[in-house]
A and B are shown apart, each in its own frame.
Chain A
Amino acid sequence: MKQLLNHLRQPRTAALIRLLLAAAILLAVMIAGMACREQALATDFTRKNLAPCAEYLFGTDWMGRDMLTRTLSGLSLSIRIGVVTAAVSAVVALAAGVSAALLGRWADGALTWLIDLFMGIPHILLLVLISCACGRGFWGVTIGIVATHWMSLARLIRGEVMQLRQSGYVQVARKLGASPAAIAGRHILPGVLPQFFTGLVLLFPHAILHEASVTFLGFGLTSEQPAVGVILSESMQYLATGRWWLALLPGICLVAVVLLFELAGKSLAALWSVNAEQEAA
């Protein structure tokens, strides 16, 4: 028993447990939200404007919709959009970073220029512009978030690849006559994968926050969707009349989900860096 406790206290095991716990909770929220989508949309005017109570933990809104199920399905939607956009944007970052570092000075200059350009327009403004271009709605947010989140990870991966390119084993491979594609695929890509996955998970929180923000402004998901941004922007009209629960509880849940993703990303980073040290030793 004591041995087990000691084992659990080791940083690596603790990080793994944190990671699995965060992932499990997020998965549960996602599935629960998908399961109660029907209830989230159901209106019942006999129970409208109820403050949080035993039956309706999060209260109900002016159309008698249960805020708990609405929040859950909104979070579920956020998580799914977050996962998709973060994944696509991380892949874009990987492709851009690797090709900038391997295709020579011209490609590198072009990428640096593009990163500077994307960084120069404030994210929210760029999201608004892209959302307009796509006619708002689901695709507007999704494309917008993918387009605004790849830059810093691309920069990171580019730096990493630049370093790996100088390393001994890559030099040897080149002298042995391996083709550039083979070097990139077999020797460099595996080296940046830890960075890639950690960066991917750490992109989730940003993606989710930006999705909620853009939806809140009215450029994202449409108001028929039970999205967190929609819930919070609707709640604004009822704050002055003292219906605090409409904004407070869904907001806290959103922050909790984002924190869980952050935790998962940090744990993953911790796991990997410890790994790297052990390999070096």
Chain B
Amino acid sequence: MTDQHHCTSANQPAAELDTVSRACVHIDAAAHQLETAAHGDVFSPLLAPAGQLALIRGGIDPTIRAAVDPNDRLEFMAHVDHALSLLDSVPASAGPPDLLVWTLRLHDMRDALLAAWAQQP
């Protein structure tokens, strides 16, 4: 099990990381962004989707964690998009056998977040 701490911010993925791990780092980074945006308010509606993203990341690989990157300039949706793009690029024989399902879950999550965003006044 590898701890994705050193040099593993989502913006600067380590060269040696495989595609699935990089996708996980982006998902984790998106979750961190939502948590940070909640500003410690435990009733914030941002915390629930953050937890959902972390769960999806855990489904893909429970041993990947992204380090919190204070210089992260990407918005959370951009992280999700990067993750989706990376997951879609994984060859069928390379990733875990249920990767397709986790990718679908992430895609559904993205759609739900976008729909929620669109409903904001």
**Are A and B physically bound partners?**
no
